[in-house]
Amino acid sequence: MTRSNSRCGRWPALLVALAVVAAGLLAGAAPAGAANLLTNPGFETGSTTGWSCPGGSVVRSPTHSGGAAMAGTTTASDIARCAQTVPVVPDTTYTVSAWVRGDPVYLGVAGGPSTWTSAASYTRLSLTFTSAANQSRAEVYLHGWYGAGTYFADDVELDGPGGGAPEGPRTPGTPSTDAVTDTSITLSWPGAGDSVTGYRVYEGDTVRATVTGTSATVTGLAPCSTHTYSVTAYNGAGESGRSGEVSGTTTGCTSADLPKHALIGYLHTSFANGSGYVRMADVPDSWDVINLAFGEPTSVTSGDIRFALCPVAECPNVETEAEFTSAVRAKQAQGKKVLLSIGGQNGQVQLTTAAARDRFVSSVSAIIDRYGLDGLDIDFEGHSLYLDRGDTDFRKPTTPVIVNLISALRSLKSRYGSDFVLTMAPETFFVQVGHQFYGGAGGGDNRTGSYLPVIHAMRDALTVLHVQDYNSGPVMGLDKQYHTMGGADFHIAMTDMVKAGFSVAGTGHTFPGLRPEQIAFGVPAAVSAGNGHTPPAQVQQALNCLARGQDCGGYDLRGGVSPDIRGLMTWSINWDRYYGWEFSDSHRPFLDALP
């Protein structure tokens, strides 16, 4: 959220990154030939299926050819080795090659020759080897070097005659969720052939079920909890690679006491911003959630959040604290929710230490208790959140500012219980842009997608996510097209991403979509409130598409129709008042008429 119409320059930087990626895509030649003995040589399955790559993941750019490549992220103690073993014929000469990019990258055969290069763009490495007289298998490997960063590999080839049968069965197909209850999720998947003894269902690195058929029910789950599964096949010779992932959420979710379709707005409580001060008592009843803007830290890394009403010198009509508190109580008596919003454009919050985390919890609790608020809104912008290089799994983040924020939010949720309302208002840069660029994977701005681990960790406690569909550059949607703010198309595509879920660039992981009642989208209340103002008719077209499946302008909803979509957020109530309540007068009746 902005106190003015200016924005920081992250989008020009992102366009530079896009240009670099585009340049990388121009390099290279044709994919591997038909003689190739390797499974998944170009990683086009979207995973490292067939390979053993503990430090590797699949990326969509840069690639040598096709739509995928492997990225190996080295550390000070790991060279990110990626290997595959295949059957070969004894006493036979083979050619091994790969298109690689990095500094350095090694290609080799276990027990045999190797080669390496240092290349800023895709370069072909090649070698030959002759199998031993009694050799029936060969292991091809790639790796980087300790602490040298990320390398990329694509179109790996092992050319020559094939040997005997593989050690294990082929990889089963990606599972689907067939049924869910409060405590269980039932999965099924395409089989892996007649040679299979059974299948193992994994959640992360933990086996949740072992079955002989192609379906399984995982039980003992918590109500309203999200789980992500993959499947392997096994027989007496070994275990296959893992299938693609599927996510499911158990039923039994309890929703906050909000209208089915809510109107959410920010109230400039601590400043005026040119739109004038609006007293809490004067906020119209059309608003269901009122976010107090803003709680801000005493310093960027202190974690010590402070909140105060606008000074009289800036806001001559500001109410007394007693009048403000009384008005909050009156709103709550009408069923409204009043939240403390932390951050905004000027409120940078970096919880870099455990001490800052603990201070955040205690200071936020003190404000909530002082005014009797209903919960918290996280509006971290700028450089509050980022990802350390190599932090590529949003499900298990390691960056301190991310880990400490998650811990703090869990503490607050535990302190206040099930009635605690938690909302978040990230910009598209921190959520949907993660589909193309993820900060921890390197190669660009380390803030891209950095809200994803926070949203994912808190998804079972999250009341509403309302991404700011404004002050944004063009963003690629699930249709592989770029969408631009200011019209129905942008809101449809961006919201559909949050509902359907999406692959996270450079990581090999997929962010699971949220439940529709957790999803709203944010728009400026008026032309002066922010870039990307959308006329009411266009906002309502987007809602008609998302909630009814109507008037989608040719866009295909990957996440399906969502009659339970929560509603609309706006910056801000003050700007809406300044422009004669156009926003709330237009959208309150429309929301009430949705199914």
User: Which residues are identified as catalytic?
Assistant: 381
The string of DSSP codes covering 127-151 is: EEEE--TT--EEEEEEE--TT--EE
Q: What is the distance between the alpha carbons of residues 99 and 152, in angstroms, rounded to a whole number?
A: 8
CA count, 13 A, side-chain hemisphere, 480? 2
The residue type of 9 is G
Whether the Cβ atoms of residue 514 and residue 466 lie closer than 8 Å to each other: no
Element (H, E) at 231: strand 226-235
Q: What is the distance between the alpha carbons of residues 423 and 454, in angstroms, rounded to a whole number?
A: 12
Q: What is the distance between the alpha carbons of residues 347 and 344, in angstroms, rounded to a whole number?
A: 5
Beta bridge partners of 567: 262, 520
In terms of Cβ atoms closer than 10 Å to its own Cβ (0-12, 13-18, 19+), residue 233 is: buried
How far from 545 is each of 254, 552, 593, CA to CA, in Å? 26, 5, 14
How far from 519 is each of 155, 348, 522, 563, CA to CA, in Å? 40, 25, 10, 11
The residue type of 483 is H
Whether the Cβ atoms of residue 309 and residue 324 lie closer than 8 Å to each other: yes
Q: What is the distance between the alpha carbons of residues 302 and 306, in angstroms, rounded to a whole number?
A: 11
Q: What is the DSSP letter of 75?
A: B
**Nearest-CA neighbor of 287 among 595, 579, 574?**
574
The residue type of 294 is F
Q: Are strands 567-571 and 519-524 parallel, antiparallel or unpaired?
A: parallel
How far from 28 is each of 64, 116, 454, CA to CA, in Å? 5, 18, 38
Beta bridge partners of 344: 380
